[in-house]
With several copies, the nearest count.
Chain A
Amino acid sequence: MLDRNGIAQRIAQELQDGWYVNLGIGIPTLVANYIPKGISVEFQSENGLLGMGPFPFDGEEDADLINAGKQTVTMLPGGSIFDSSLSFAMIRGKHVQLTVLGAMEVADNGDIANWKIPGKMVKGMGGAMDLVASADNIIVAMAHTNKRGQSKLLRQCTLPLTGVKCVKKVVTNMAVMDITPDGFKLLERAPGVSVEDIKNATEGRLVVEGEIPEMQL
């Protein structure tokens, strides 16, 4: 089983040189720590910046420079600042090549639910609905099961949707899967996890073809 950093590390292998990438809050943010050598990507933050740099040193925070998680950040040379409409123009217009975000549930047709639990306080979808409806390449980073041990990879989402048929790949603590017309296609197992374990933890349709290799981290 992978931990949060392991999931991030595996997702980082999907990065391609020259991509613009939007990382959601939580595990996705950690992806930035594992960019493969020789690959260079730029981070977009949907509140309005490209070329996001590391967190500032203590005392160097600028209240006028935050990321979409409202954290103080810095900028790298080559970065740029823009307003919210241009920010989502680049997202909606598919100029950002990859979005990585967390989810509560993913269905085997690519539906995703990650913003609302009926009966609980709803904080809002922020930019998630725009991101999932737009990017060609959506990777979900999440645990395979919830705290009660129930599968988060479903035949159909039970929670209100964030987007339909949009997720392309799911990386969990147990497996890497592509979304295909036949369901979750198992590509890799996490170290120490068997295909049987994954089958048991997956409620949605799971396609297992041939030998499933273990992830190389």
Chain B
Amino acid sequence: MNSILRSGNDELLSYLWYSTLNLNKRMNKVVKDAKEAIEGITSGMTLMVGGFGLCGIPENCISALVDLGANNLTCISNNAGVDDFGLGLLLQQKQIKKMISSYVGENDEFERQMLSGELEVDLIPQGSLAERCRAGGAGIPAFFTPAGYGTEVAFGKEVRYFDGKPHILESALHADFALVKAWKGDRFGNLIFKGTARNFNPVMAMAGKITVVEVEHLVEPDELDPNTIHLPGVFVQRIFEGKNYEKRIEQRTVRPVE
């Protein structure tokens, strides 16, 4: 116990690679802009899009996706934006075939497309949506949850009792691309989120086959304390510094000055 391993022990040789290591050449996931970041997205793909309401949405990626014009997309996102912002921009262009969300109010075009049958909608309890994304990223193919038992959400799903309480089996969600917004990030893909803009972004970043992150501030790796990173870069494939964030507020609510 507590012995000091010294030369002669051949494991000591390990990590000598370090002395020849060019730190500046390690891992570079940085791409130029949103256009390059979403390269490879094609019609018919499934995308995860981070954000809660308009808070923490990947504004740059969504704009680039409008320009790209890919359609027949399945979008997994807690909400569907508003008419002229967020995923609403993709809805306007009829690029979305199906939404997988927990709440889709506040969007007239969405309502029109849904009621006319142009748009498929799969509504999922918010906690199950979050956990299904995490499960997808964590290699957990399915789990039991009490949420939705006895409701139409449970139709066709296995029911099992644990401790006398009914649960339903929910499966993992995956996406061809996850589009994620963070506050700060480095070229390794390490991410720090800000305030409630965190929301679904970390779990969706875990579940994308290709995870694209736009950050407000792309920083040098040694600027981030390893202890404070919200999501390790191992989950991220591409990262870039976004531009011109509007960060629109959906329900600006204030209190009077006393």
Contact = CB atoms under 8 A, between A and B. Distances in A.
B200 A83 contact: yes
Contacts of B230: 83
Nearest to B247: A63
Given A125-B123, A160-B152, A161-B151, A32 B15 contact: yes
Interface in B202-258: 202-203, 206, 220-222, 226-227, 229-230, 232-235, 247-255, 257
Given A4-B10, A48-B198, A66-B52, A93 B138 contact: yes
Interface residues of B, number: 94
Contacts of B68: none
A57 B104 CA distance: 29
B186 A78 contact: yes
Interface in B7-31: 10-19, 21, 23, 25-27
Contacts of A47: 52-53, 55, 196, 199
Contact of A76 (B26, B137, B150): B26
Quick one: which of B78, B196, B253 has the most chain A CB within 10 A?
A: B196
Contacts of B198: 48, 81-83
Given A78-B27, A85-B130, A57 B255 contact: yes
A49 interface: yes
Contact of A58 (B197, B226, B232, B257): B257
Nearest to B128: A130
A95 B25 contact: no
Contacts of A160: 151-152
B150 to A, nearest CB: 3
28 contacts: A30-B14, A32-B14, A42-B26, A44-B234, A47-B53, A49-B226, A50-B234, A55-B253, A58-B254, A63-B248, A64-B56, A66-B55, A70-B53, A71-B251, A73-B253, A78-B186, A81-B196, A83-B202, A84-B52, A87-B130, A89-B134, A90-B232, A92-B147, A94-B139, A125-B125, A127-B102, A127-B125, A134-B139
Interface of B: 4-5, 10-19, 21, 23, 25-27, 52-56, 78, 101-105, 111, 114-115, 121, 123, 125-131, 133-134, 136-140, 145-153, 183, 186-188, 190, 193-203, 206, 220-222, 226-227, 229-230, 232-235, 247-255, 257
Interface of A: 4-5, 18, 20, 26, 29-30, 32-35, 40, 42, 44-67, 69-73, 75-96, 111, 121-130, 133-134, 160-165
